[in-house]
Amino acid sequence: MPSLGLRKGNIIDIESTAKAIDNCLNDLERLTGVPIYSTIAGFSGTSISAINNHAVVAVGNPNNEITAEDKERVIHSARNVALPPDKTVIQIIERQYIVDGYDGVKDPVGMVGSRLEAEVTIIIAATAAIQNMQRSTQRINLQLSNIVYNPLLVSETVLLPAEKEMGVVLMDIGAGTIDISFFAAGSILYTSVLPVGGEYITKDLAIVLRTSLEEAARIKKDYGIASPEMADSSTLIEVRNIQGKEVKQVSQEVVSEIINARVVEIIEMIYAELNQFECWDRIPGGIVLTGGGAELAGITGVMEKYLNVPVRLGVPDNLRGIPADFSRPRNASVLGGLVYSAKNLEIAYDEEGQGLTSIFNRISYWFIDLFR
């Protein structure tokens, strides 16, 4: 099912985006028999940035017991940052609380102390980008109950708690963007979004091979390899011209060399971003690569070679009750959204066909078609 109205992760056509969402929901409602009125939406885009902030308040209770009101006050103070009018806060991530100098506290309510501190990460995006998403859903009378930064959804299914605690970089390679996020001490610390993705490689293939984007996408999917050393020079690939009337042959090795040049260029951009994060000595978990672009053969090896850190494929297998065919990197964001929703809606993971198991049994055919 195509994602219409988007370019490099940004909505450029509200009507087309609304129609694509509506078609998706109509199929889902028809197969499940459940009407959908609201949703939790994952958000990303090149306007994303993150600010780490810290705040301190005095505990208001005379007996020094920290209350929910104290917690709310310190979070409100921590999120109070000066923003330009074209930027808006989409999410506050509570990293840790500090009570009278003792850090690592996850929930201070009920503890005793006179001084409460909070460390948070504030995710910021362009106001217009958020408004365009809201208008797209309003066109089809779909309520946005919550907007969640996409890497947080992805992390639910591809990162281990130990990785997030010790230090790891998550890279979600989409069609038009790459989300890069550094996790440590159990939460996200730094993040950025690059305006390149799988379509960047596809477009370059189309230009060099003088073919259409559709033909280039087919070639990349069926024969694409990120490492020329893995390619077979004897394997010949038929390539149709832009008009689709003439056919020529190129070797898989040539295709791989074109792909490799673009992959290396993307890696150089990633390297520059990670330098900005200053996290090279804090990622014992290495890099976890996920998203549709991560399914390109050989890409983890090429990235590991150039960045000189361990790189593994992020497969969404941190949850039960889904068919094995769905556990692919390209599905990590959607599956992460389901896990996030299940936690917030208290859907049980039981052994009697309830929760996510029941959901997947009801929508399995639709889900297969969605990611075909």
Q: Tens digit of pLDDT for each residue in 214-258? A: 999 999 999 999 999 999 989 999 999 999 889 999 999 999 999
pLDDT at residue 372, rounded to an integer: 44
Q: Tens digit of pLDDT for each residue in 286-342? A: 999 999 999 999 999 999 999 999 999 999 986 666 777 788 999 999 888 888 877
pTM: 0.88
CA-to-CA distance for 196 and 177, rounded, in angstroms?
A: 5
C-alpha 176 chain-centroid distance: 12
Please name every residue paired with 236 in a beta bridge, in sequence order, or none if there are none. Answer: 251
48 burial (CB, 10 Å; 0-12 / 13-18 / 19+) is buried
Spatial contact of 158 and 285, defined as CB atoms under 8 Å apart:
no
- Close Cβ partners of 318 (under 8 Å, ≥ 6 residues apart): 156, 157, 158, 159, 160, 339
Q: What is the number of residues in the chain?
A: 372
185 burial (CB, 10 Å; 0-12 / 13-18 / 19+) is middle
Domains of the chain (ranges; CATH) run 49-126 (3.30.1490.110), 198-259 (3.30.420.40)
